[in-house]
Structure 1
Amino acid sequence: MATGETGFDDVTFDLISVQYHSLKAGHDYGQYVRDARNAGMDDIASFFEQVMSEDSERARRCHEFLGRLQGSAAAGPATS
């Protein structure tokens, strides 16, 4: 596996990126849910809640995978 200038291999970097964006989006979706509820659009609020839940699960799975990679040679020197 290649290790870039960051000291992380591509897969570790990719997982961290997906986890970050999932968590960031989850934070933003909270506002979207409030906006939709305030507008009386409960079906759209429910959609945003579903998307938020999916991103939360995605972030959790990334965390799980990163835990498996931590300290392994495959993850690059930054995680050793």
Structure 2
Amino acid sequence: MFVEVGSYDAKTRLPELLRKVEQGERFTNAQRGRPIADLVPSADNARHSREEAVAAMRSMKRLVDVAPDTLEQWVEEGRR
């Protein structure tokens, strides 16, 4: 469900709305109570976030010389 924002509010609060959209929120721009347009995150932005996440995972250090029992214990403890 989108939060409805009047056209005047959208104009005066655009930078704030864009920051919220970047965080995943969605807005419907209305004019005189009639929905006109939706302000939603860009699909391209989501693609970049996925690519950055994959790159971050690939750059993580690998564990070397850790016994499987120790790894199981860490998982049980909730270590990451």
Q: TM-score range by the shorter chain?
A: 0.3 to 0.5
TM-score by length of 1: 0.35
- Identify the structure with the greater helix proportion: 1
- Identify the structure with the greater strand proportion: 2
TM-score by length of 2: 0.35
Larger radius of gyration: 2
Task: Identify which of structures 1 and 2 has the higher relative contact order when contacts are C-alpha pairs closer than 8 Å and 6+ apart.
Answer: 1
